[in-house]
């Protein structure tokens, strides 16, 4: 058995939404290091172009707002101007909204549910033809939905639509996987825990304090995220279908609950 190429992404074409910063940027850097050509997309063109310049010639900016179905279709059309197929799609663009229950607005509900649940579905739909153009059961294409441990456990903040959206996307991953496997397209989800980012400001600004509540006693690093995402994109995971890989230092699966001694 030759395992030397298990994690190689040489010759693969990837698209990462929300790829200009945070988790998306971590994944982009990892894919490029493994030999992939990576297109990154984000709503803000300057940030997208700046990150692409930083990551090198194998990172191509393709700015687009995917919060609407029209935006998803436009991104697919823009990619089709450069490539005739797509090997890896990472649905990472997302939003969060935290407001007390009594004040939680419809706008905060709709923004989060649209970007976190609706957009991954319709972007994958828009890219379906490119994803199956070269896919086979010997070399499947991959769709990776970036979910969250907040879809599996509660956090202490009043992020109602975020919790609901990430839980929904974990289950939607299974349903999409059941359909797209017919086209040799594997759909999985990656659920991050505490990684420093604009969305997770607690981990970014108070990492040492957050780390105290994590079984691994630290927040996640760029390498932790890249490693998990490379696994799901590579040959190493070709028999993993519809599952959610939790990357959180043990919060979901290795943290004990609390109890009151009698």
Residues with catalytic function: 162
- Structural tokens at position 35: 């030999």
- Structural tokens at position 78: 């823009």
Spatial CB neighbours of 170, under 8 Å, sequence gap ≥ 6? 145, 147, 151, 152, 189, 191, 244
How far is 215 from 244, CA to CA, in rounded Å? 20
Nearest to 232 by CA among 94, 129, 92, 65: 92
CB atoms within 10 A of CB 3: 8
How far is 128 from 86, CA to CA, in rounded Å? 9
- Structural tokens at position 96: 């969060």
188's enclosing H/E stretch is: strand 185-192
The answer to whether 125 and 73 have CB atoms below 8 angstroms apart is no
DSSP alpha helices (H): ranges in 116-217? 119-126, 128-132, 160-180, 201-205, 207-211
Bridge partner list, 39:
15, 60
**How many alpha carbons fall within 13 Å on the CB side of residue 244?**
26
């Amino acid at each position: 058995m030759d395992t030397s190429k298990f994690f190689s992404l040489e010759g693969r074409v990837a698209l990462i939404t929300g790829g200009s910063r945070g988790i998306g940027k971590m994944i982009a850097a990892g894919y490029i290091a493994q030999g992939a050509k990576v297109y990154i997309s984000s709503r803000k063109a300057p940030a997208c172009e700046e990150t692409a310049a930083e990551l090198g010639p194998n990172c191509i900016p393709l700015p687009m707002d995917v919060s609407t179905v029209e935006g998803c279709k436009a991104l697919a059309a823009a990619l089709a101007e450069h490539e005739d197929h797509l090997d890896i799609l990472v649905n990472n663009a997302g939003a969060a909204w935290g407001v007390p229950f009594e004040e939680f607005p419809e706008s905060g509900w709709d923004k989060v549910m649209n970007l976190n649940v609706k957009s991954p579905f319709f972007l994958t739909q828009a890219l379906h033809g490119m994803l199956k153009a070269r896919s086979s059961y010997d070399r499947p294409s991959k769709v990776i939905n970036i979910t969250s441990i907040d879809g599996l456990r509660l956090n202490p903040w009043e992020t109602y639509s975020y919790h609901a959206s990430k839980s929904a996307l974990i289950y939607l991953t299974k349903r999409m996987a059941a359909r797209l496997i017919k086209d040799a397209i594997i759909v999985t989800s990656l659920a991050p825990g505490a990684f420093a980012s604009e969305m997770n400001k607690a981990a970014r600004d108070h990492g040492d304090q957050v780390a105290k509540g994590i079984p691994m006693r630290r927040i996640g690093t760029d390498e932790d995220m890249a490693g998990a995402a490379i696994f799901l994109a590579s040959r190493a995971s070709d028999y993993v279908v519809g599952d959610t890989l939790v990357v959180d230092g043990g919060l979901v699966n290795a943290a004990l609950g609390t109890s009151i001694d009698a």
